Amino acid sequence: MLQAIHSKLDELYPEMVDIRRYLHQYPEVSFQETETAQYIANYYKTLSIPYETNVGGNGVIATLTGGKPGKTVALRADFDALPIQDEKNVPYKSKVDGVMHACGHDGHTASLLTLAKTMKEFQDELPGTILFLHQHAEEYAPGGAKPIIESGALDNADAVFGTHLWTPTPLGVLQTSKDVFMAGPDRFEIIVQGQGGHGGYPHDTKDAITIGAQMVTQLQQIVSRRLDPLKTAVVSVGQFEAGNAFNVIADKARLVGTVRYLDNDVQEQVIQEMEKIIKGICLSHNVSYSFNYEKGYPPLVNNEQDAELVFQAANHVSAIHTSEEVKPVMAGEDFAYYTMEKPGAYFFTGARKEDSPYPHHHPMFDIDERAIPTAAKTLIATYLEYQKQ
């Protein structure tokens, strides 16, 4: 059956591309994906596959019950976009100003929709039940995974699997981990309230810029000098906003950044060290401050046995020539909530476009669309491997 399924997916490749390119032209950011959700629901309606909308927000879940007994497994694809201006010169460039699919979620959706269309034809031969899980708001915490779980929609699921079209990885390569796979991504904001004044009279001021600059420098020492060298973390300041004139010393500075970690004890240590540094610097300059730390998604930890099933499934996908167990990456994913609640695993499907070497979340981001059927083939192969247990 698997070979026949894969052949059908190959036949649907043009439709996969059409879906992906349509969604690419009409992206919607996290928590605002109403039209995308409706597009997904309409697709299942035409297939006569039962579906539920507004799951945990804008989520959509379709249910295909096979003709043979088996387990219930959710296959997940996210569908939100990012607040980035699309700068590619392609026919399918985003038509929405300031919004684009810069992470491949349009490809994820195309992959899962056409997989559903394929499996509808094989429904009588299918063991178990597939939950086609279309998740909103992966890009922005608190995300869509947690409210979907809290809705109870996955209570009867035995496992959850998902993949990410991953452009750092070449086409034909599958990557995953049998343990921690992706980092926990947190966000912080620091506001320094100094005392502004004339640029020629710095002694009468409390310069928020120089104070903020000291914070940027010393925060880097948390990883290099305060953490165990065998532990992993990232502390990055991504925004530094202060001042509005060349001859005025700024009275306020705003620093916004991210912390990435793999172990919960490291997360807590980083928070404590940040508080010490910020408080100490502000105390020494006699200024006030606020420090807001927002914990994001937890680290994504794969179930070892289920990650092994992904590797076994990859052996049945001719488009995959290399399967690799890799070290964790410091990007985050709210798929982490699923594997906290259910068995399952997440993996990368190589999607590098050789003439477009731009990273995820870049205005020129694009994927090799030949990875879309590879993702679908691997998901259904994993599903069938799981049913054998």
The answer to whether residues 303 and 165 belong to one domain is: yes
The answer to whether residues 112 and 158 belong to one domain is: yes
Q: By residue range, what is the domain housing residue 245?
A: 184-294
Average pLDDT over residues 307-330: 98
The answer to whether residues 24 and 150 belong to one domain is: yes
Res. 211 pLDDT band, cuts 50 70 90: very high
The answer to whether residues 171 and 57 belong to one domain is: yes
Predicted local confidence at residue 326, as pLDDT? 98
Predicted local confidence at residue 8, as pLDDT? 98
Encoded tokens for 358: 């731009």
The answer to whether residues 9 and 133 belong to one domain is: yes
The answer to whether residues 31 and 149 belong to one domain is: yes
Res. 295 pLDDT band, cuts 50 70 90: very high
Predicted local confidence at residue 12, as pLDDT? 98
The CA distance from 148 to 338, in Å, is 9
Its sign, for the CA torsion 90, 94, 95, 97, is: negative
In this predicted model, what pLDDT tens digit does every residue of 113-169 receive, in sequence order? 999 999 999 999 999 999 999 999 999 999 999 999 999 999 999 999 999 999 999
* Catalytic, out of 78, 106, 138, 385: 138
The helix (H) or strand (E) run that includes residue 281 is helix 264-285
Predicted local confidence at residue 198, as pLDDT? 97
Please choose, from the candidates 186, 204, 206, 200, the residue with its C-alpha nearest in 3D space to the C-alpha of residue 253.
206
DSSP 225: I
Predicted local confidence at residue 285, as pLDDT? 98
For the chain, give the percent of residues with pLDDT over 70.
100
Name residue, tokens 């979907």: 148
Encoded tokens for 51: 């579906």
Encoded tokens for 64: 């295909």
The answer to whether residues 191 and 318 belong to one domain is: no
Predicted local confidence at residue 316, as pLDDT? 97
Give, in order, the Cα–Cα distances in Å from 260 to each of 167, 219, 360.
21, 13, 17
- Mean pLDDT over all residues of the chain? 98
| CATH code, 311 | 3.40.630.10
Pairing of β 173-176 and β 248-249: unpaired
The CA distance from 148 to 92, in Å, is 31
Predicted local confidence at residue 183, as pLDDT? 98
Average pLDDT over residues 206-222: 98
Encoded tokens for 133: 């899980």
Q: Which domain-ending residue is among 294, 312, 332?
A: 294
Cis peptide before 27 (omega within 30 of 0): no
Name residue, tokens 């890009």: 139
Q: Which domain-ending residue is among 294, 322, 355?
A: 294
Residue 379 CB neighbour total at 10 angstroms: 27
| CATH code, 250 | 3.30.70.360
Predicted local confidence at residue 337, as pLDDT? 98
Does 138 qualify as catalytic in the annotation? yes
Name residue, tokens 């690799």: 324
Predicted local confidence at residue 301, as pLDDT? 98
The answer to whether residues 249 and 366 belong to one domain is: no
Sequence letter at residue 280: G
Residue 362 CB neighbour total at 10 angstroms: 18
60, 119 Cβ separation under 8 angstroms: no
The answer to whether residues 282 and 251 belong to one domain is: yes
The CA distance from 354 to 8, in Å, is 27
Predicted local confidence at residue 150, as pLDDT? 98
The answer to whether residues 309 and 235 belong to one domain is: no
Please choose, from the candidates 122, 111, 106, 133, the residue with its C-alpha nearest in 3D space to the C-alpha of residue 13.
111
The answer to whether residues 64 and 165 belong to one domain is: yes
Pairing of β 322-325 and β 184-193: unpaired
Give how many domains the chain has, as a whole number. Answer: 2
Structure pTM?
0.95
Does 80 qualify as catalytic in the annotation? yes
* Catalytic, out of 33, 78, 80, 333: 80
Q: How far is CA 317 from the centre of its chain?
A: 24
For the chain, give the percent of residues with pLDDT over 90.
99
The answer to whether residues 285 and 319 belong to one domain is: no
Predicted local confidence at residue 246, as pLDDT? 97
**258 SS3 class:** strand
Predicted local confidence at residue 243, as pLDDT? 97
In this predicted model, what pLDDT tens digit does every residue of 84-100 receive, in sequence order? 999 999 999 999 999 99
Q: Which domain-ending residue is among 294, 324, 354?
A: 294
Predicted local confidence at residue 340, as pLDDT? 97
